[in-house]
Amino acid sequence: MKVQVLCAPILGLAFAIASTANAEVIVHDSWSSWSATVAPITTLDFTGFPNNTVITDQYTPVGATFMDAGDRVFVSSVFEKDGAGLNGGFSVAISLEGASQAFAIDVLGLVKIELFNDGTRVYESELFSGGGGSQGYFVGLVADQAFDTVVLTGPGGVFLDDTHFTAAPLPAPSALGLLMLAGIAGRRRRR
């Protein structure tokens, strides 16, 4: 596994580009840097459900199905954003409708993230630790390959405050350039 850490102190951003399996993945440690690179974003905040509700297909209409039968809403002040989160036991598996290239979590504790496409693992992270302890932290991933399943594991359990993802793959930079050129060429022909 190769890891390259790039720091931009002026912007206050630090992120790593990590490669395992097949995908190149940019890891963001802040919402602002991750959300600036992806759109549209769907957020699952686990509010509106009674404590201990098992989460399976409640978020299917927005493109996410939780595949474990043990993922439960946990209402507690430890989830600083909105007082509700998900207690996934030692793992959380999320199936995304269609493919995505961006996924992020607000999480408590240690967590490892694996990305799969059609059952094949395309990325496996190291164990993220954030601030450790009961402090929540952000991890955002942007992959150069599409994935349709995310599996989160943690030695002390997986506790998610919010989960974020894009509903469709991000266009590759080269594809964006071709679209721009086609638009410019089409505009010149009409004149």
pLDDT of the residue at 132: 55
Parent domain of 105? 2-190
pLDDT of the residue at 162: 95
For the chain, how many structural domains are there in total?
1
User: In angstroms, rounded to a whole number, what is the distance separating the alpha carbons of residues 186 and 133?
Assistant: 56
pLDDT of the residue at 164: 97
3-state class (DSSP) for residue 29: coil
For tokens 């190769």, the residue is 2
Split at pLDDT 50, 70, 90, the class of 7 is very low
CATH of the domain at 180: 2.60.120
Nearest Cα to 43, choosing from 77, 11, 72, 84? 84
